[in-house]
């Protein structure tokens, strides 16, 4: 037996599908398109279940509609399970009125009943069942209630296939005429009257006359007529079977009056984001970082002394202190700032404010072809682009999802924070919080503008998905926050101990040896320098000088963004003693940096291709090497152009 799950987007099809089939699933794509095709076997019943794409009607306007319609009409499933979001009957039942015309058994599943009470909605399901003449089950796919009853109904299967008449008699008469003439079912008869493109061969003079009769009687074209008559039917039905008493205004509603207020919501959002950056990069952040950096420096000096006294050879001392401790320490120094950043984000998430941001930005994002949903990968991307790219799966609309995957790496992730913190801390002093926040807003601007162009030139016809229901505000749970923050910090520290450690050793090696493998050569003759010198011209428009040191450091951002700082530290610090990471700008090597070139260099590192980890995630989620390469080329080009503009305009202005 074949059963099809049919319903609107976000009605809970996939949730129910997973409940019914467990791990017995086969996932693939529909032929020729990237829309996911999931089939499975219902446990105990031995029925095949298919999760059809979410649709609002059976017209062939979208790819989803076309796929679902083709499947239903050609494969003729034995039973259609029509999932209805019980909290928005009106929107959902439109599809139901069409499914009831197909002469296929339909079971109506009212999903999300767990949310009805809160909304003050009561649905008389027995009455609904009587009115539309088929079985109705109330379930919550999320909370796993009512599923047994649904399985029983499928098992006993005493539902009849039927075609329900829902229009007034003179319309029904026309439908009957078409059915008799062509021996078609009710669905097809209506489609013929609507002059649906799939039934063009039936468009004879007789049909045209029937259509003209309806159009002159009702003064609208037939497609519109049937749609409006369906809604009339649904309106009457809803009146009969539902009872709504307005829910009382709770604290969440009151808070939303402020946080979602037309006038103050946006300023509040900006102030909150600014505070987050001010706390983590500004005051609290930089003083705690200085403290930790000092500790690491002391540790380095002590280690050097200890090693020298115990008779270790020069190169070992240099490797351990100038390579490993300097490189890894440069990254670890930023842990305090990250803890504060993660803490802020975690609080925003658990209190429910983050969902408000989604909601708030929805309308704004829509102007650029994204929905509020796209903010989720961006916010997760604040921690790390990899989970950000992966969570883009929450975006239902395929093209929008691709756009979000390409754009998420533009968000300043935690690994980029050290770059931002170091440059803005040194060059912009007490304005460092402002400068960091400005990069954040620059990222949003770049993302929106890019989305606009991606939509215009790359993924034509990109649709957007809906932001669903907002959760209640909650007091943050300490246990959750502690776990969330410590997980993220652990991940960051782990990277310092693995990737950064390895890279630091490699950089130290390339810097300490010449091509002839002579040790302790003049830096200028090192392998790293010769590599850097061949590519340093690329960075000339961004830095205003040829600096192989900055060039090789930026390139290492590909491995991990923190490595940019590690590398600069190692290069600047080799053979010198540094008291704090900021003093690298006092070193001869990097003293050429000015405010404009510092900002430009930050921007380049922020927007250029992400690290290999994120590139890998992009490739997995985009599912294509070609698309990934295109995306990376786009990111690098954009970063380079933007940074060059920032440097040149900035320099021009500061010279005025």
Q: For binding to ligand GDP (CB under 6 A), which residues are involved?
A: 7, 9-15, 54, 111-112, 114-115, 140-142
Helix (H) or strand (E) holding 40, with range, is strand 36-42
In 58-216, DSSP assigns E strands to 79-85, 105-111, 121-123, 136-138
Q: How far is the CB of 191 from ligand GDP (least distance, A)?
A: 25
Q: How far is the CB of 86 from ligand GDP (least distance, A)?
A: 9
Residue 87, contacted partner among Mg ion, ligand GDP, none, CB below 5-8 A by kind: none
283: its two tokens: 């005051």
Residue 414, contacted partner among ligand GDP, Mg ion, none, CB below 5-8 A by kind: none
Q: How far is the CB of 14 from ligand GDP (least distance, A)?
A: 3
Residue 115, contacted partner among Mg ion, ligand GDP, none, CB below 5-8 A by kind: ligand GDP
Q: Which is nearer to Mg ion, 16 or 104 (CB)?
A: 16
Rounded distance between C-alpha atoms, residue 230 and residue 97, angstroms: 7
Q: How far is the CB of 348 from ligand GDP (least distance, A)?
A: 20
Rounded distance between C-alpha atoms, residue 479 and residue 637, angstroms: 43
Residue 112, contacted partner among Mg ion, ligand GDP, none, CB below 5-8 A by kind: ligand GDP
Q: Which is nearer to ligand GDP, 355 or 581 (CB)?
A: 355
In 3D space, the residue among 366, 370, 301, 360 whose CA is nearest the CA of residue 329 turns out to be 301
Residue 9, contacted partner among ligand GDP, Mg ion, none, CB below 5-8 A by kind: ligand GDP
Residue 282, contacted partner among Mg ion, ligand GDP, none, CB below 5-8 A by kind: none
Q: Which is nearer to ligand GDP, 10 or 635 (CB)?
A: 10
Q: How far is the CB of 113 from ligand GDP (least distance, A)?
A: 7
Per CB under 5 A, contacts with Mg ion among 224-253 are: none
Q: Which is nearer to ligand GDP, 21 or 536 (CB)?
A: 21
Q: How far is the CB of 61 from ligand GDP (least distance, A)?
A: 18
586: its two tokens: 């006092």
Residue 219 has what DSSP assignment?
Answer: T
- Which residues have a Cβ under 8 Å from the Cβ of 523 and sit 6 or more positions away? 511, 529, 571, 574
Q: Which residues of 333-368 are buried (b: 16+ CB within 10 A; e: fewer)?
A: bbbbbbbbbbbbbbbbbbbbbbbbbbbbbbeebeeb
Sheet of strand 105-111: strand arrangement? 25-29, 36-42, 47-51, 2-7, 79-85, 105-111, 136-138
Tell me how many degrees the CA angle 391-393-395 measures, rounded to the nearest 5.
110
Q: How far is the CB of 140 from ligand GDP (least distance, A)?
A: 4
Q: Which is nearer to Mg ion, 53 or 333 (CB)?
A: 53
- Which residues have a Cβ under 8 Å from the Cβ of 312 and sit 6 or more positions away? none
Residue 15, contacted partner among Mg ion, ligand GDP, none, CB below 5-8 A by kind: ligand GDP
User: Is the Cα torsion angle 418, 424, 425, 430 positive or negative in sign?
Assistant: negative
50: its two tokens: 């298919």
Q: Does 14 bind Mg ion (CB under 5 A)?
A: yes
Query: Per CB under 5 A, which region of 11-19, 67-75, 442-450, 621-629 contacts Mg ion?
Result: 11-19
Task: Specify the residue for token string 């493998």.
Answer: 517
Q: How far is the CB of 15 from ligand GDP (least distance, A)?
A: 3
Residue 645, contacted partner among ligand GDP, Mg ion, none, CB below 5-8 A by kind: none
Q: Which is nearer to ligand GDP, 72 or 551 (CB)?
A: 72
Per CB under 5 A, contacts with Mg ion among 159-178 are: none
Q: Which is nearer to ligand GDP, 143 or 620 (CB)?
A: 143
Residue 495, contacted partner among Mg ion, ligand GDP, none, CB below 5-8 A by kind: none
Rounded distance between C-alpha atoms, residue 545 and residue 303, angstroms: 36
The DSSP string of 322-382 is: IIIIHHHHHHHTTHHHHHHHHHHHHHHHHHTHHHHHHHHHHHHHHTTT--GGGHHHHHHTT
Q: Which is nearer to Mg ion, 83 or 332 (CB)?
A: 83
Rounded distance between C-alpha atoms, residue 180 and residue 206, angstroms: 13
Q: How far is the CB of 14 from Mg ion (least distance, A)?
A: 3
Query: Which residues of the chain form contacts with Mg ion (CB under 5 A)?
Result: 13-14
């Amino acid at each position: 037996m074949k059963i099809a799950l049919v319903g609107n987007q976000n009605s809970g099809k996939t949730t129910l599908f997973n409940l019914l089939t467990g791990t017995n699933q086969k996932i693939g794509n529909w032929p020729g398109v990237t829309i996911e095709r999931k089939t499975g076997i219902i446990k105990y019943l031995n029925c095949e279940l298919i999760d059809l794409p979410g649709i609002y009607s059976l017209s062939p306007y979208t790819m989803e509609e076309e796929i679902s319609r083709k499947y239903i009409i050609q494969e003729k499933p034995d039973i259609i399970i029509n999932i209805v979001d019980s909290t928005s009957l009106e929107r959902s039942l439109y599809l139901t009125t069409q499914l009831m015309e197909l002469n296929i058994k339909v079971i109506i599943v009212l999903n999300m009943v767990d949310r009805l009470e809160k909304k003050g909605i009561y649905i008389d399901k027995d009455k609904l069942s009587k009115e539309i003449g088929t079985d109705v089950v109330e379930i919550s796919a999320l909370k796993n209630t009512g599923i047994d009853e649904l399985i029983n109904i499928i098992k006993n299967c005493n539902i009849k296939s039927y075609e329900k008449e829902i229009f007034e008699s003179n319309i029904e008469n026309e439908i009957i005429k078409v059915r008799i003439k062509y021996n078609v079912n009710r669905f097809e008869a209506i489609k013929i009257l609507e002059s649906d493109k799939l039934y063009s061969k039936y468009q004879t003079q007789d049909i045209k006359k029937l259509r003209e009769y309806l159009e002159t009687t009702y003064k609208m074209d037939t497609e519109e007529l049937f749609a409006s008559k369906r809604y009339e039917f649904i309106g009457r039905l809803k009146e009969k079977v539902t009872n709504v008493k307005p829910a009382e205004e709770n604290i969440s509603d009151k808070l939303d009056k402020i946080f979602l207020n037309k006038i103050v919501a946006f300023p509040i959002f900006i102030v909150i984001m600014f505070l987050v950056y001010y706390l983590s990069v500004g005051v609290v952040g930089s003083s705690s970082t200085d403290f930790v950096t000092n500790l690491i420096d002391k540790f380095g000096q002590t280690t050097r002394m200890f090693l020298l006294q115990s008779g270790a050879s020069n190169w070992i001392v240099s490797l351990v202190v100038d390579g490993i401790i300097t490189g890894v320490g440069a990254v670890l120094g930023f842990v305090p700032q990250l803890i504060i950043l993660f803490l802020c984000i975690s609080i925003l998430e658990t209190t429910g404010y983050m969902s408000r941001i989604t909601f708030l930005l929805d309308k704004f994002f829509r102007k650029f072809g994204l929905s509020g949903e796209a903010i989720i990968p961006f916010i997760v991307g604040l921690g790390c682009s990899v989970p950000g790219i992966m969570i883009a799966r929450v975006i239902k609309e395929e093209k929008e999802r691709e756009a979000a995957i390409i754009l998420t790496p533009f968000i300043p992730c935690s690994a980029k924070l050290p770059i931002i913190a170091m440059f803005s801390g040194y060059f912009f002093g007490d304005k460092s919080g402002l400068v960091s926040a400005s990069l954040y807003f620059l990222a949003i601007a770049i993302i929106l503008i890019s989305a606009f162009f991606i939509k215009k030139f790359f993924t034509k016809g990109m649709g957007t998905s809906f932001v669903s229901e907002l959760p209640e505000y909650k007091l943050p749970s300490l246990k959750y926050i502690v776990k969330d923050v410590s997980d993220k910090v652990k991940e960051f520290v782990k990277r310092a101990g693995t990737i950064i450690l390895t890279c630091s050793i490699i950089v130290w090696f390339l810097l300490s040896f010449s091509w002839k493998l002579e040790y302790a050569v003049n830096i200028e003759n090192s392998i790293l320098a010769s590599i850097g010198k061949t590519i340093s011209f690329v960075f000339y428009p961004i830095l205003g000088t040829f600096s192989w040191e900055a060039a090789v450091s930026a390139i290492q951002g590909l491995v991990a963004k923190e490595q940019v700082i590690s590398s600069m530290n190692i290069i600047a610090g080799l053979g010198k003693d540094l008291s704090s990471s900021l003093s690298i700008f006092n070193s001869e090597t990097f003293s050429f940096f000015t405010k404009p070139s510092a900002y430009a260099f930050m921007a380049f590192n922020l927007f250029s291709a992400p690290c290999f980890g994120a590139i890998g995630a992009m490739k997995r989620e985009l599912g294509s090497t070609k698309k990934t390469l295109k995306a990376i080329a786009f990111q690098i080009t954009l970063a380079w152009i933007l940074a060059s503009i920032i440097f040149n305009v900035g320099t021009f202005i500061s010279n005025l």
